Amino acid sequence: MSTTTMNATHSHDDHGPLKGWRRWLYSTNHKDIGTMYLIFALIMLFLGGASAMAIRAELMYPGLQLLDPDLYNNIVTNHALVMIFGAVMPAAAGLANWMIPLMIGAPDMALPRMNNLSFWILPAAALMLILSFVVPFFPGGGSQINTGWTLYPPLSLKVGMSMDFLIFTIHLLGVSSVLASINIIVTIFNMRAPGMTVWKMPMFVWAWLVTAFLLILIVPVLAGGVTMLLFDRHFGTSFFDAAGGGDPVLFQHLFWFFGHPEVYVLLLPSIGVLSQVIPAFSRKPLFGWNSMIGAMIFLASLGMVVWAHHQYTIGMSSAAVNYFMIGTILISIPVGLMKFNFIATMWRGSMTFETPMLFAISIVIMFVFGGLTGVMLAIVPADMQYHDSMFVVAHFHYVLLPGAVMALFAGVLYWLPKWTGNMYNEKLGKWFFWTSLIGFNGTFFVQHFLGLAGMPRRIVDYSIQFAEFNFISSISAFVYGLSHLIFLYLVITTIKGIGTTKAKPRSWEGAQGLEWEVESPAPFHTWEKAPKIDKEGHYVK
């Protein structure tokens, strides 16, 4: 460290990027770390996408074609974990890293070295996750993971050493998430430019603040739960074994105490993205600013106390079941409020329909579908019928793909000019949007019918009467999967500047916020001198 070369008036030690691989390995720059998060997420998206394609290929026709049942179960488990922990959360964290310091006028994240650590734990976790998938194919590697991402005992106690790799993967991911969340909270509380009060912060920053709190509260509980699983597997404890006085259902409670709020961890950053995108392309401020914050806090708090609606069939007392049902149905209030605010923002706005906005509008519509089936699933007697059917699969893909993945695409396209200095090719963007929209709905809409007709989920084979809808679903899934190659091509051409136009600092006519006051592409260091902000929260030149 050059502690002696310190400049008296300027305590930045860090002046420009290092050369070569050291730039990325040793980085303390929020933009480089954000970029690494996003690239990692994209790689994981394609890995998780490949497993989804394998699942749909197997389910295209009844009977066993491509995968044996063990491998199918292994892939189903892997698909969920890779997508949730590898793709969606890192992508959202990448947006946070890139945009939060730019949006609040901070020179970087509050704890830059820890920021680097929270990213670099992810590739380690990915390595462990991939090992958990491939180890059973080596001699002495034990059985494949067949539990699904929920890892319920007693099944997860019987799996071979793969399960230990998976447990430690979850520990690693947990450490990464908690460190990143601490960094985000501290950055938001301590690094805002003078005049950027919490009540003037962009909604994306607010959304991440709520998300980071949620993560700090729930991730340690999952870490504790899988630690107990590890002890039951190797050290003779009886937490989840009724013969020793324990209870397998305990793990379900611990898992879903994490798992349900996790849904909002995936959703809230996307609500933040939509809160930036929709006003920008409607050329109006966000409608119901305060109510949006209230809705997010309400959603996060309520989300922490309704976890057992994933477990209606375990034989809880009817008082407990009723409580969880009512709590779950209440969730539709804050979500409805958010949707109302988005629609009211568009109302009489002078709207244009660039790709991020197209995504935003379709998300508002499709997320309502997912929300409505969510209310159906929340109702206990109905859920007893839908439980573990394809209806559940349709429901959560309608929530998570529009609510998390597509909104992240909207965010990436919205901020891509700021990152690369180039406007992406709008024609390619529109192609990506329409193919993915059609592919997505074709894949998952028919799964509602399959589930209602009684097709169970997570099963490699199915009865002959489900064949047509499964065929439609699989063909659409391939369209949906391939549409992401358009996105990949779009991103690469934008970075390379092939067939693109140069982006202005304010890349979109209606875009508001401090991030549009710096050049495009954003220089390596921004806001080394804090921006001036007036009483309305606007930038003063």
Site residues for another protein, 175-234, by CB under 8 A, read 175, 178, 181-183, 185-186, 189-195, 216-221, 223-225, 227-228, 230-234
> Residues in contact with another protein, total (CB under 8 A)?
97
Give yes or no for residue 12 binding another protein (CB under 8 A).
yes
Residue in 437, 393, 540 with CA at minimum distance from that of residue 55 = 393
Shortest distance, CB of residue 511 to another protein, whole angstroms? 24
Give yes or no for residue 315 binding another protein (CB under 8 A).
yes
Shortest distance, CB of residue 189 to another protein, whole angstroms? 6
Shortest distance, CB of residue 539 to another protein, whole angstroms? 15
| Residue 1 exposed, middle or buried by CB count within 10 Å (0-12, 13-18, 19+) | exposed
Contacting residue, 243, 319, 464, 540, with another protein by CB under 8 A: 243
Total Cβ atoms within 10 A of residue 514: 23
Give yes or no for residue 395 binding another protein (CB under 8 A).
no
CA distance 516 to 513: 6
Nearer Cβ to another protein (111/280): 111
Give yes or no for residue 2 binding another protein (CB under 8 A).
yes
Total Cβ atoms within 10 A of residue 499: 12
Give yes or no for residue 116 binding another protein (CB under 8 A).
yes
| Residue 25 exposed, middle or buried by CB count within 10 Å (0-12, 13-18, 19+) | exposed
Give yes or no for residue 290 binding another protein (CB under 8 A).
no
Please, which contacts does 383-386 make with residues 24 or more away whose CB atoms are closer than 8 Å?
Answer: 383/309, 383/312, 383/313, 384/312, 384/313, 386/451, 386/452
Shortest distance, CB of residue 416 to another protein, whole angstroms? 25
Shortest distance, CB of residue 76 to another protein, whole angstroms? 22
Contacting residue, 57, 61, 152, 246, with another protein by CB under 8 A: 246
Shortest distance, CB of residue 239 to another protein, whole angstroms? 5
Give yes or no for residue 247 binding another protein (CB under 8 A).
yes
Shortest distance, CB of residue 537 to another protein, whole angstroms? 14
Beta strands 422-423; 501-502: pairing state = antiparallel
3-state secondary structure 63-127: CCCCCCHHHHHHHHHHHHHHHHHHHHHHHHHHHHHHHHHHHHCCCCCCCHHHHHHHHHHHHHHHH
**Beta carbons of 524 and 108 less than 8 angstroms apart:** no
CA distance 307 to 524: 43
Nearer Cβ to another protein (12/158): 12
* Location of structure tokens 């988005």: 342
Give yes or no for residue 238 binding another protein (CB under 8 A).
yes
Select the span of 71-79, 114-122, 276-284, 353-361 touching another protein (CB under 8 A): 114-122
CA distance 485 to 491: 10
Give yes or no for residue 301 binding another protein (CB under 8 A).
no
- Which one-letter amino acid corresponds to residue 221? V
Give yes or no for residue 11 binding another protein (CB under 8 A).
yes
Cβ density class 119-151: b for 16+ within 10 Å, e for less:
bbbbeebbebbbbbbebbeeeeeeebbbbbbeb
CA distance 339 to 337: 5
Select the span of 17-25, 61-69, 441-449, 477-485 touching another protein (CB under 8 A): 17-25
Give yes or no for residue 237 binding another protein (CB under 8 A).
yes
Select the span of 42-50, 121-129, 199-207, 444-452 touching another protein (CB under 8 A): 121-129
Give yes or no for residue 113 binding another protein (CB under 8 A).
yes
Nearer Cβ to another protein (234/348): 234
> Footprint of another protein on residues 79-108 (CB under 8 A)?
105-108
Contacting residue, 37, 72, 204, 239, with another protein by CB under 8 A: 239
> Footprint of another protein on residues 252-281 (CB under 8 A)?
253-254, 257
Count H helices and E strands in the chain, helices first. 18, 4
